């Protein structure tokens, strides 16, 4: 099956599994330890059901959303995913261009192998995601670099104080920095298409990729430890550093990795512009609450902020459930990587197109002509409505974004 023949994200995943070396597929697809957080993200969507409204004029439908002064074509975006170049040639550029083509936001990972300046040239609306230590001498030059590149949205990931244990990656011989273990080499040899189109092409044209964007300086090669150890100092990161960044960063500031309502309120008090409700796709703390389960309370605790869901989205119905529970948009990581592995830039664009098509159809079937009209009235727990209930506790409509949090 070609990428453009895929009828769903699950189809793209199947193509990606056949084309990627097992170790790299395991990196993309897997989570940490027992992978219970990974499974929880998907299970959370099944705990909600729709309450469709019949006899509503849905002949014209609008799924566009506005975030930070930009009108996007759909309420979806691409989450940051590290070393995308392992899934497809110049993966960071392919992701950025696919997002621009689909008119949705794209977040470049700090663990990327293409200089952020090149990525911003490919997509001027690129957002940048940072892994930061509690070291001003590292943060300040990076902020200057990101600002000079033209990035206007900075996303600080806060749920990776140290690296998690990902046993499935270790079993497959995969690690970052990349080590040429026997299992990894064998996995490449049994995927000749990937070996030629991604691995050999990258080596021929660029040499061994480097971590380009962890700090203001170019990092080390992906087969060696990064220069200066970019992980040093993350464990001591606190809200004080977020406040310090807020004082110095003139663009929009988002915090990624929030699962507690109290933390959402604290972030709002500091003056951040938005939050990613995320358990890191089940790749960090195993047993953490599912992103969707944490969403309603966080949305209620942070009115006026952009609330973005990250984790477990595979269908247009998943996106609509997230919006009904308080999100302004839902972001995808693995589905975009599946598309990249299956068909490069066009594969990523096809993944976005599949979700957008599903959202369009599902809006009509739900009896809601525009995503702006989604709220708690369109959804209920799978167990059904309690007798006499008209609203579920903790579930409210997404707050509209005020001008205070928009880009002029």
User: Which residues are marked as active site?
Assistant: 280
Cα–Cα distance measured from residue 292 to residue 122, given in angstroms and rounded to the nearest whole number: 32
Whether residue 80 is annotated as binding a ligand: the answer is yes
Residues in contact with 277: Cβ distance below 8 Å, sequence separation at least 6, in sequence order: 258, 259, 291, 294, 295, 298, 307, 308, 309, 310, 311, 327
Whether residue 269 is annotated as binding a ligand: the answer is no
Whether residue 11 is annotated as binding a ligand: the answer is no
Task: Give me the helices (H) in 223-315, please.
Answer: 239-248, 261-270, 291-301
Whether residue 129 is annotated as binding a ligand: the answer is yes
Whether residue 256 is annotated as binding a ligand: the answer is yes
Give the DSSP per-residue string, 145-205. Answer: HHHHTT--EEEEE-S-SS----HHHHHTT--SS----HHHHHHHHT-HHHIIIIIIHHHHH
Whether residue 310 is annotated as binding a ligand: the answer is yes
Whether residue 75 is annotated as binding a ligand: the answer is no
DSSP three-state, residue 267? helix
Q: What angle do CA 369, 307, 373 make, to 5 degrees?
A: 15
Structure tokens at 287: 């047993």
Whether residue 314 is annotated as binding a ligand: the answer is yes
Cα–Cα distance measured from residue 177 to residue 49, given in angstroms and rounded to the nearest whole number: 42
Whether residue 206 is annotated as binding a ligand: the answer is no
Whether residue 198 is annotated as binding a ligand: the answer is no
Residues in contact with 245: Cβ distance below 8 Å, sequence separation at least 6, in sequence order: 132, 139, 143, 154, 156, 253
Question: Among candidates 403, 313, 305, which has minimal Cα distance to 322?
Answer: 313
Cα–Cα distance measured from residue 347 to residue 12, given in angstroms and rounded to the nearest whole number: 8
Contact between 22 and 172 under an 8 Å Cβ cutoff? The reply is yes
Whether residue 335 is annotated as binding a ligand: the answer is no
Give the DSSP per-residue string, 66-83. Answer: EETTEEESSSEEE---TT
Whether residue 82 is annotated as binding a ligand: the answer is yes
Residues making up the chain, counted from first to last: 408
Whether residue 27 is annotated as binding a ligand: the answer is yes
Whether residue 283 is annotated as binding a ligand: the answer is yes
Whether residue 166 is annotated as binding a ligand: the answer is yes
Cα–Cα distance measured from residue 259 to residue 131, given in angstroms and rounded to the nearest whole number: 18
Whether residue 274 is annotated as binding a ligand: the answer is no
Place of tokens 């998943």: 318
Other Cβ atoms closer than 10 A to 59: 7
Whether residue 268 is annotated as binding a ligand: the answer is no
Whether residue 334 is annotated as binding a ligand: the answer is yes
Whether residue 146 is annotated as binding a ligand: the answer is no
Using CA atoms, how far residue 152 sits from 16, 33, 132, 147, in Å, is 32, 35, 18, 7
Rounded (to 5) percent helix, strand, coil in the chain: 45, 15, 40
Binding residues: 27, 80-82, 109, 129, 131, 157, 166, 256, 278, 280, 283, 310-314, 333-334
Binding residues for glyoxylate: 27, 131, 166, 280, 283
Binding residues for FMN: 80-82, 109, 129, 157, 256, 278, 310-314, 333-334
């Amino acid at each position: 099956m070609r990428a453009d023949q895929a009828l769903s994200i699950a189809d793209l995943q199947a193509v990606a599994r056949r084309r990627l070396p097992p170790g790299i597929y395991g990196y993309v697809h897997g989570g940490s330890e027992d992978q219970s957080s990974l499974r929880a993200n998907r299970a959370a969507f099944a705990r909600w059901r729709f309450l469709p409204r019949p006899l509503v004029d849905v002949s014209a439908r609008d799924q566009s959303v506005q975030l930070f002064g930009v009108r996007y074509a759909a309420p979806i975006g691409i989450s940051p995913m590290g070393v995308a170049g392992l899934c497809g040639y110049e993966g960071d550029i392919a992701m950025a261009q696919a997002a621009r083509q689909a008119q949705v936001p794209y977040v470049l990972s700090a663990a990327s192998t293409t200089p952020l300046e090149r990525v911003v040239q490919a997509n001027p609306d690129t957002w940048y995601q940072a892994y930061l230590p509690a070291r001003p001498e590292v943060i300040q030059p990076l902020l200057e670099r990101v600002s000079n590149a033209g990035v206007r949205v900075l996303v600080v990931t806060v749920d990776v104080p140290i690296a998690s244990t990902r046993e499935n990656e270790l079993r497959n011989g995969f690690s970052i920095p990349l080590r040429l273990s026997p299992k990894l080499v064998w996995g490449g040899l049994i995927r000749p298409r990937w070996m030629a189109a991604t691995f050999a092409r990258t080596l021929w044209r660029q040499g061994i990729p480097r971590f380009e964007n962890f700090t203001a300086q170019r990092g080390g090669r992906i087969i060696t430890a990064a220069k200066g150890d970019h992980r040093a100092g993350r464990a001591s990161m606190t809200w004080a550093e977020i406040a310090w960044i807020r004082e110095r960063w003139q663009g929009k500031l988002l915090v990624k990795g929030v699962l507690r309502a109290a933390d959402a309120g604290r972030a709002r008090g500091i003056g951040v512009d938005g939050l990613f409700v995320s358990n890191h796709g089940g790749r960090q703390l195993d047993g953490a609450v599912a992103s969707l389960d944490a969403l309603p309370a966080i949305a209620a605790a942070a009115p006026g902020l952009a609330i973005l869901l990250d984790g477990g989205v595979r269908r247009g119905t998943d996106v609509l459930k997230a919006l009904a529970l308080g999100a302004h948009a839902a972001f995808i990581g693995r589905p975009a990587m599946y598309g990249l592995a299956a068909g490069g830039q066009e594969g990523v664009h096809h993944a976005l197109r599949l979700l957008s098509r599903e959202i369009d159809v599902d809006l009509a079937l739900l009896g809601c002509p525009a995503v702006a009209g989604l709220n708690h009235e369109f959804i209920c727990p799978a167990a059904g409505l309690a007798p006499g209930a008209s609203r579920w506790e903790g579930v409210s409509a997404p707050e509209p974004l005020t001008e205070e949090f928009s880009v002029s």
